[in-house]
């Protein structure tokens, strides 16, 4: 499958980790559940997946990009509800998983493999909606992603994205026996330290030390503002509020939100402030990502998209 060249070593590393996770078949890498067969049922299923953030967005006839969205139902459901849907992800295995499901259902999608920070294969103003679920956490320079999204959005288009909550992500694995501590200061940049990189779901156990970044809320807001995006929705939430044993993730997520979700609309030309456009404070903004060091056997493919069943 054609792909875009990885932007840097972070992308190359996380690509390898997600290929490993997808090979093991963890739930995050494949569609879960079964959508209803009716149009109304599919829309309800999609609204549940997106936590209602779509609002009154009408999918029929719209151009939708599911960014870093391999493995889920989102792209398939958007297409079956009348959208011209494109699925963009760094993991070839996740793209192939969705392709197989879509083929069985007779659903047409466009597939692109690449780093979410490099959308150069996509045109200016090409999409009415960019849906970006729980994956901006895997890149250090979220502002670059947001600027690229703003470029490919049509004026009036929506960008809906979510990530790990910047406070809570710094506290996982931080149980002291009597309370929670921060593993990393809120104001410090760089990847979040991970004590045990094992992903465990039932009988599946995979060691995959992904690089994850706790993007500060203010930086994400400034990146949107600097790219001509106006935020009109904000949610902080956890998958469950029932709690669990002291020191468990469920216990932490009962007290603090696991995720934060933004909905933003493109209003026109972005602001000219460099510091606002990249979404970070001046002292932390890198001038450019480091050069990509190709791993053994890596080749530069033809950057084009594929479409089919």
Q: Which two tokens stand for residue 51?
A: 């936590």
Phi and psi (nearest 5°) for 98? -65, -40
Answer yes or no: is pLDDT of 289 > 90.
no
Which range is least confidently modeled, 29-38, 95-104, 151-160? Answer: 29-38
What average pLDDT does the segment 245-272 reach? 90
Instruction: Report pLDDT for 7.
Output: 64
Widest Cα–Cα separation across the chain: 55
Residues 121-157 pLDDT 10s: 999 999 999 999 999 999 999 999 999 999 999 999 9
Instruction: Report pLDDT for 270.
Output: 57
Answer yes or no: is pLDDT of 277 > 80.
no
Domains for the chain: give ranges and CATH numbers. Answer: 9-164+215-245+259-278 (3.40.50.150)
CA 196 to the chain's CA centroid: 22
Measured CA distances, 92 to 22, 68, 136 (Å): 9, 11, 18
Would you say 308 and 1 are in contact if contact means Cβ atoms under 8 Å apart?
no
**DSSP state, residue 271:** P
Answer yes or no: is pLDDT of 290 > 80.
no
The span from the CA of 278 to the CA of 281, in Å, is 9
Answer yes or no: is pLDDT of 45 > 50.
yes
What average pLDDT does the segment 216-243 reach? 96
Instruction: Report pLDDT for 118.
Output: 94
Structure pTM? Answer: 0.84
The span from the CA of 271 to the CA of 226, in Å, is 5
């Amino acid at each position: 499958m054609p792909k875009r060249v990885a932007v840097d070593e972070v992308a190359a590393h996380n690509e390898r980790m997600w290929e490993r996770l997808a090979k093991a078949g963890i739930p995050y890498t494949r569609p879960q559940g079964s959508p209803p067969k009716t149009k109304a049922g599919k829309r309800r299923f999609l609204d549940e997946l997106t936590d209602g953030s779509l609002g009154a967005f009408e999918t029929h006839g719209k151009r939708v990009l599911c960014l870093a969205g391999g493995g889920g139902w989102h792209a398939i459901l958007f297409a079956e509800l009348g959208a011209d849907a494109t699925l963009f992800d760094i993991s070839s295995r996740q793209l192939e998983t969705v392709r197989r499901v879509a083929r069985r259902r007779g659903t047409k999608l466009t597939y692109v493999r690449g780093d979410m920070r490099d959308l150069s294969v996509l045109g200016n103003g090409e999409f009415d909606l960019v849906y970006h679920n729980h994956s901006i956490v895997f890149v250090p320079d979220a502002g670059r992603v947001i600027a690229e999204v703003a470029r490919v959005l049509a004026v009036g288009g929506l960008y809906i994205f979510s990530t790990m909550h910047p406070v809570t992500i710094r506290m996982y694995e931080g149980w002291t026996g009597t309370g929670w501590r921060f593993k990393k200061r809120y104001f410090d940049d760089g990847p979040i330290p991970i004590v045990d990189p094992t992903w465990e779901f039932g009988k599946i156990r995979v060691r995959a030390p992904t690089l994850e970044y706790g993007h500060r809320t203010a930086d994400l807001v400034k990146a949107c503002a600097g790219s001509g995006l106006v935020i009109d929705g904000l949610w902080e939430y956890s998958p469950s509020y029932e709690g669990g044993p002291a020191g468990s993730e469920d216990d932490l997520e009962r007290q603090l939100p696991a995720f934060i979700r933004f909905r933003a609309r493109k209003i026109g030309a972005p602001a000219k402030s460099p510091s606002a456009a990249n979404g970070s404070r001046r002292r932390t903004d890198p001038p450019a990502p480091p050069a990509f060091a190709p791993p053994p056997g890596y080749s530069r493919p033809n950057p084009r998209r594929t479409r089919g069943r």
